[in-house]
Amino acid sequence: MLPDSASDPEGSKGQIIFAVKANSNTPDGTIVFNRAGIYFDYNEVVFTNTTHNMLFGEPYPVAAFDYKHSCNNTGLVYDFIYSGGVPDGAIFEWNFGADAVPSSSTQENPFGVIFSGTGTREITLTVTRYGCSTTITKIIDIVDVKCGNNKVLVCHIPPGNPGNPQTICIAENALPAHLAHGDCLGPCQTNHKNKSAVPENENKEMFTKHDITQNTFEVFPNPFTEKANFSFTIQKTNFATIEIANSLGQTVATLYNGFTASDETYTIEFDSKGLNAGVYYCILRSADFSEFHKLVIIK
């Protein structure tokens, strides 16, 4: 029942929504070309443009990284190591901030990044693979390794006890011996909150992760007037979605749509601006875990 394009150009455009299930033995990177033939009344068939889809079991890359002070440079020099494990075809975009040299990089593992001063920094990594992107922002401490006259901080790995690293202050002339058995300049790392693993164009506000070992889904406070925090954990690395729906079941907001790391809790701050007071539902879905909460917004 579409109107003709001469009288209503926009209204004459139709859409068909469909779902496709891939064969179980379809390898990653399979390309599917397709087009449709449309008949209007008794006219000749009109063919659409040809679509081009590349199929992946897990299309979103994992954005994750570790960092450490350069092991053999006493300046404010840091090495960054990608730890997301994307196997192929990935593009890396690092942002170290305006006071870093270089301030950005496209290397997978950029080493020797020099900062101009101490203090906390937000380091952002975006990983893109075949058009799908994920971003992580991690807060790190830039510290001076000097701990006195001709002394430096070292992350010391005790012989026979590698799981118990200790930050110690040593004389600079003792540094070669420590480096020789695996120690590294700078203090041992401290965990910080991360704004993590949020696919591009999704809600990135106040997104953090912490270690934990069970499936959970919580909201607080509830009822709320303006903002609420949603906290969730999925034990297995998986694709997950979190949506806010109104009382009619219509989706009014998407809080998360992407992969999650196993056994880590993610917290999202949700702003109810633009929504009327009333009852809503927040639904978490993954391959092997789903749960929902009733939300009450008071204005």
Name which residue leads in pLDDT, 228 or 240: 228
Q: Are residues 70 and 53 in the same domain?
A: no
Is 232 buried (19+), middle (13-18) or exposed (0-12) by CB count in 10 A? buried
Paired tokens of 121: 């920094």
Residue 191: inside a domain, yes or no? no
Residues 184, 152 contacting (CB under 8 angstroms): no
Same domain, 47 and 152: no
The tally of domains found in the chain comes to 3
The reply to whether 193 falls in a domain is: no
Nearest to 70 by CA among 148, 173, 186, 158: 186
Instruction: Give residue 102's region: left, alpha or beta (phi > 0; psi -120 to 50).
Output: beta
Q: Looking at mean pLDDT, say which of 9-23, 102-116, 161-175, 235-249 comes out highest.
A: 102-116
Confidence (pTM):
0.51
Q: Looking at the structure, do residues 32 and 81 belong to the same domain, yes or no?
A: no
What is the Cα–Cα distance from 299 to 286, expressed in whole angstroms?
32
- Give the residue from 161, 185, 209 where a domain finishes: 185
List, for residues 81-112, the tens digit of each pLDDT value. Answer: 998 877 677 899 999 999 999 999 999 999 99
Domain limits for position 249? 201-297
In a domain, 132, yes or no: yes
Residues 20 and 79 in one domain: no
SS3 57: coil
pLDDT higher than threshold 50 for residue 156: yes
* 180-195 pLDDT tens trace: 877 888 888 654 444 4
CATH number of the domain within which 284 lies: 2.60.40.2550
User: In angstroms, what CA-CA distances link 202 with 196, 199, 253, 255?
Assistant: 12, 6, 10, 7
| Residue 158 in domain | yes
pLDDT at 207: 37
Contact (CB, 8 A) for 112 and 106: no
Unique residue bearing structure tokens 């430096």: 152
Residue 194 resides in a domain: no
Mean pLDDT, the chain, rounded, equals 81
**What's the token pair of residue 86?**
């994307």
d(CA 136, CA 127): 9
Peptide bond preceding 158: is omega within 30 degrees of 0, i.e. cis? no
